[in-house]
Amino acid sequence: MTKIAVLKEVASGETRVAASPETVKKFIGLGASVAVEKGAGLAASISDADYEAVGATIGTASAVIKDADIVLGVQGPDPKALKGAAKGAWIVAGLDPFGQRKRVDEYAAAGVEALAMEFMPRITRAQSMDILSSQSNLSGYKAVIDSAAAYGRAFPMMMTAAGTITAAKAFIMGVGVAGLQAIATARRLGAVVSATDVRSATKEQIESLGAKPIFVENVAGIEGEGAGGYATEMSPEYQKAQAELVSSHIAKQDIVITTALIPGRAAPRLISDVQIASMKPGSVIFDLAVAQGGNVEGSKPDEVVIKHGVKIIGYSNTPAHLAADASALFARNLFNFLSAFWDKEAGKPVLPDDDEITAAIRLTKDGKVVNERLLG
| Domains located in the chain, CATH noted | 3-119+323-363 (3.40.50.720), 136-316 (3.40.50.720)
Active-site entry in 16, 69, 103, 130: 130
- Entry pTM: 0.93
Active-site entry in 127, 208, 235, 248: 127
Active-site entry in 20, 69, 103, 133: 133
**pLDDT on residue 128:** 98
* pLDDT above 80: residue 216: no
* pLDDT above 70: residue 233: no
Q: Verify whether residue 103 is a known catalytic residue.
A: no
* pLDDT above 90: residue 372: yes
Q: Verify whether residue 130 is a known catalytic residue.
A: yes
Residue that wins the pLDDT comparison between 152 and 230: 152
Give the C-alpha separation, 43 to 17, whole Å: 8
Q: Verify whether residue 339 is a known catalytic residue.
A: no
* pLDDT above 70: residue 219: no
Give the C-alpha separation, 95 to 103, whole Å: 9
Active-site entry in 188, 230, 269, 339: 230
> Average pLDDT, stretch 160-164?
97
> Average pLDDT, stretch 203-219?
90
Q: Verify whether residue 278 is a known catalytic residue.
A: no
* Angle CA 179–150–286, to nearest 5: 30
33-43: b (≥16 Cβ within 10 Å) or e: bbbbbeebbeb
Give the C-alpha separation, 142 to 347, whole Å: 39
State the average pLDDT for the chain: 94
Of the candidates 106, 104, 72, 65, the one whose C-alpha atom is nearest the C-alpha of residue 90 is 72
Give the C-alpha separation, 159 to 215, whole Å: 32
Q: Verify whether residue 107 is a known catalytic residue.
A: no
Distance of CA 252 to the CA centre of its chain: 29
